[in-house]
């Protein structure tokens, strides 16, 4: 079965079980400053798992594009990818363990026709934070999975989330397909990485919220969050023991071999080809996202740069000297553009950016590799030398470490960081922090900032006298709001002051906020503001602030603007060509 058929079957199955089908959200999380990319289907749904009602109800399902940079070192093994698609179904305080597991089993055995004898499952063994998950195990047993194929594992294996440091999480039950390989040892069981047991689906029972102090509290509602890997399941359905041999990847491999003028690949070359294929998929999808990320030295742009440059370096290992990125992106766009039209719509942008980045890096790569060789001959790489390779030849630090590993030498990473900070490039440090941080908490503070964001959009249109100003992105933490909008010059101090005054005037006016449910086309017809490039479900909420503002939004918002306090703009700067960025707070 092809991946596209699997996706169709999945959505059809859960639609029949009264789930509303939602669109994949952007790869760039909108209201979560703590992570760079959407890492799971649940990620865009965090506020709804925390208790905020969703406009489409309590049962949702989708296919979500995801990026997990944490898996980058595993890329090349049978199952790990940095970019992948995740099928998911959710219960937001509706059905729970028994129903979720029964549907998972029904879908696996009746729709996908997996042999029940090949299915093993794991359940949470219990600890001081939560009890042993006997209910899940009993449900599996009642469906016919024998006890010897039900494994109880501790938190490190059978607990999912939160996506960052805080947020919704809970025990899970994972489903594995036996690939028929021999056990690598008598202890080999689901969760072992030898490739015998292939994890394809995870049902998470999210009834906990992990707090900043590391303790857990019960969420307002008991949720189900499931995630099934499209590529992994497709591999199992196509009788392959790794994701790279599926039909999704084969055209990419064919092109890599053609570019390398190689018929067969050695094990080492195959690993490089897998890295190239994975990273080019990730790069193409990041560039193809409506948020228009470009390669840079900060945040998502830095990760994008790393993907592209690492792919090019591995291309060199296969002796590919010419154009590598664009021919592969062309194939990737072709494979996925039916499901993700944004790839087709942004084709020119994707190709232009890949060309620019490949040209830039190709200029320094050869010289940088020579320099690296010279340095490496002296032994371990000092922080200063690593910084030189980074600064003068554009080698991401992770690439320097990879090169050093290949030569069995070390890199003084701490020394590199010192040099880096010394050069005041604190922005990447910021990126790292964001990886480690927790999910933003949905609180009163964020609700206030949401409302302030709507007032700000309106105030900008009014003060700058430009009705075409639109939101191009927004990001809210409990401390501040960040708002991107289209405008082609910096605001003057006078204008900034006027925008602040306008927002504060509306706050003082004590305007009421109302929420209305509407069909998307009706909402747009009614003149409600929408975010440029955002994907909305067919039914949406429109928040009106008296007669002042009307916007499509998932909320949450306060009831009256007078709850907001004093609005202050902290920063106004350029964010990309033609886009300005405002950071503001409520005092």
Question: Which residues of this chain interact with ligand SER, rule CB under 6 A?
Answer: 40-42, 88, 160, 202, 204, 225-227
Residue pair 160/196 in contact (Cβ under 8 Å)? The answer is no
Residue 310: closest CA among 279, 266, 268, 344: 279
Q: How far is the CB of 70 from ligand SER (least distance, A)?
A: 12
Q: Is the dihedral of CA 116, 231, 27, 166 positive or negative?
A: positive
Residue pair 527/455 in contact (Cβ under 8 Å)? The answer is no
Q: How far is the CB of 142 from ligand SER (least distance, A)?
A: 23
Nearer to ligand SER, 103 or 485 (CB): 103
Rounded to whole angstroms, how far apart are CA atoms 447 and 465?
A: 27
Nearer to ligand SER, 222 or 557 (CB): 222
Nearer to ligand SER, 204 or 375 (CB): 204
Nearer to ligand SER, 45 or 403 (CB): 45
Q: How far is the CB of 45 from ligand SER (least distance, A)?
A: 10
Q: How far is the CB of 187 from ligand SER (least distance, A)?
A: 24
Q: Which residues pair with 319 in a beta bridge?
A: none
DSSP string, 303-353: HHHHHHHHHHHHHHHTT--S--HHHHHHHHHHHHTTT-HHHHHTHHHHHHH
Q: How far is the CB of 85 from ligand SER (least distance, A)?
A: 12
Q: How far is the CB of 118 from ligand SER (least distance, A)?
A: 21
**Residue 105, CB half-sphere, CA atoms under 13 Å: how many?**
21
Nearer to ligand SER, 190 or 227 (CB): 227
Residue pair 499/456 in contact (Cβ under 8 Å)? The answer is yes
Q: How far is the CB of 202 from ligand SER (least distance, A)?
A: 4
Nearer to ligand SER, 224 or 496 (CB): 224
CA dihedral 546, 550, 556, 562 (to 10 degrees): -30
Give me the long-range contacts of 338-344 (CB less than 8 A, separation at least 24): 338/4, 339/4, 339/7, 339/63, 340/24, 340/65, 340/285, 340/288, 342/288, 342/289, 342/290, 343/284, 343/285, 343/288
Describe the strand order of the beta sheet including 539-545 as a list of residue ranges: 513-519, 539-545, 549-552
Angle, CA 5 vertex, CA 195 and CA 270 arms, to 5°: 40
Q: How far is the CB of 314 from ligand SER (least distance, A)?
A: 27
Q: How far is the CB of 40 from ligand SER (least distance, A)?
A: 4
Q: Which residues pair with 218 in a beta bridge?
A: 208
Residue 166: closest CA among 440, 409, 456: 440
Residue 142 CA, chain-centre distance (Å), reads 36
Nearer to ligand SER, 40 or 503 (CB): 40
Q: How far is the CB of 189 from ligand SER (least distance, A)?
A: 19
Q: How far is the CB of 137 from ligand SER (least distance, A)?
A: 19
Rounded to whole angstroms, how far apart are CA atoms 518 and 540?
A: 5
Nearer to ligand SER, 61 or 404 (CB): 61
> For the CA atoms of the chain, what is the radius of gyration?
25
Q: Which residue has its beta carbon closest to ligand SER?
A: 227
Q: Which residues pair with 151 in a beta bridge?
A: 122
Nearer to ligand SER, 100 or 388 (CB): 100
Rounded to whole angstroms, how far apart are CA atoms 401 and 386?
A: 9
Nearer to ligand SER, 226 or 451 (CB): 226
Nearer to ligand SER, 227 or 383 (CB): 227
Q: How far is the CB of 65 from ligand SER (least distance, A)?
A: 13
Nearer to ligand SER, 82 or 451 (CB): 82
362 three-class SS: helix
Burial 333-357 (b: 16+ CB within 10 A, else e): bebbeeebebbeebbeebbebbeeb
Residue 71: closest CA among 216, 212, 199: 199
């Amino acid at each position: 079965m092809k991946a596209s058929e699997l996706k169709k079957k999945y959505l059809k199955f859960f639609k029949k079980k009264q789930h509303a089908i939602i669109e994949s959200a952007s790869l760039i999380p909108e209201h979560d400053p703590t992570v760079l990319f959407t890492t799971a289907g649940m990620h865009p749904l965090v506020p709804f798992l925390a208790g905020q009602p969703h406009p489409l109800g309590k049962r949702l399902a989708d296919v979500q594009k995801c990026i997990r940079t944490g898996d980058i070192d595993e890329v090349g093994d049978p199952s790990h990818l940095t970019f992948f698609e995740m099928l998911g179904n959710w219960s937001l305080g509706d059905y729970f363990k028994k129903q979720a597991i029964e549907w998972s089993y029904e879908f696996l055995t009746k729709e996908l026709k997996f042999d029940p004898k090949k299915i093993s499952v794991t359940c949470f063994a219990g600890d001081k934070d939560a009890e042993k998950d006997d209910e899940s195990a009993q449900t599996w047993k009642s469906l016919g999975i024998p006890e010897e194929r039900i494994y109880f594992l501790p938190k490190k294996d059978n607990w999912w989330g939160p996506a960052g440091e805080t947020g919704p999480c809970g025990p899970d039950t994972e489903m594995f397909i036996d690939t028929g390989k021999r056990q690598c040892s008598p202890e080999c069981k689901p969760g072992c990485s030898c490739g015998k047991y292939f994890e394809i689906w995870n049902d998470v029972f999210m009834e906990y919220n992990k707090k900043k102090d590391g303790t857990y509290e019960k969420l307002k509602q008991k949720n189900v969050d499931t995630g099934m890997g499209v590529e992994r399941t497709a591999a199992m359905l196509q009788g392959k023991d790794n994701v790279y041999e599926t039909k999704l990847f084969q055209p990419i491999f064919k092109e890599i071999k053609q570019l390398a003028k190689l018929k067969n690949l050695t094990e080492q070359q195959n690993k490089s080809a897998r890295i190239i294929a994975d990273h080019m998929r990730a790069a193409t999808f990041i560039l193809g996202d409506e948020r228009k990320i470009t390669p840079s030295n900060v945040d998502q742009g830095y990760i994008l740069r790393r993907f592209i440059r690492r792919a090019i370096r591995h291309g060199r290992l296969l002796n590919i000297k010419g154009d590598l990125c664009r021919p592969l992106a062309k194939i990737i766009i072709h494979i996925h553009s039916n499901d993700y039209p944004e790839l087709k719509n942004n084709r020119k942008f994707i190709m232009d950016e890949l060309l620019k980045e490949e040209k830039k890096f190709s200029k320094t790569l050869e010289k940088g590799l020579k320099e690296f060789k010279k340095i490496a001959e002296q032994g371990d790489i000092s922080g200063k030398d690593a910084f030189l390779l980074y600064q003068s030849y554009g080698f991401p630090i992770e690439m320097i470490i990879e090169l050093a590993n290949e030569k069995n030498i070390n890199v003084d990473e701490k020394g590199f960081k010192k040099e880096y900070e010394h050069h005041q490039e604190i922005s990447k440090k910021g990126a790292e922090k964001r990886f480690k941080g927790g999910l933003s908490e949905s609180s009163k503070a964020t609700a206030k900032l949401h409302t302030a964001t709507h007032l700000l959009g309106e105030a900008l249109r009014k003060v700058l006298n430009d009705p075409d100003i639109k939101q191009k992105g927004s990001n809210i933490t409990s401390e501040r709001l960040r708002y991107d909008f289209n405008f082609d010059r910096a605001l003057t101090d006078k204008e900034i002051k006027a925008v602040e005054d306008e927002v504060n005037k509306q706050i003082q006016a004590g305007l009421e906020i109302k929420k209305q449910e509407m069909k998307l086309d009706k909402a747009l017809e009614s003149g409600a503001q929408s975010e440029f490039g955002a994907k909305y479900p067919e039914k949406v909420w429109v928040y009106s602030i008296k007669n002042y503002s009307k916007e499509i939004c998932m909320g949450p918002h306060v009831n009256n603007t007078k709850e907001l306090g004093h609005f202050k703009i902290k920063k106004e700067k350029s964010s990309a060509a033609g886009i300005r960025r405002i950071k503001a707070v409520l005092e």
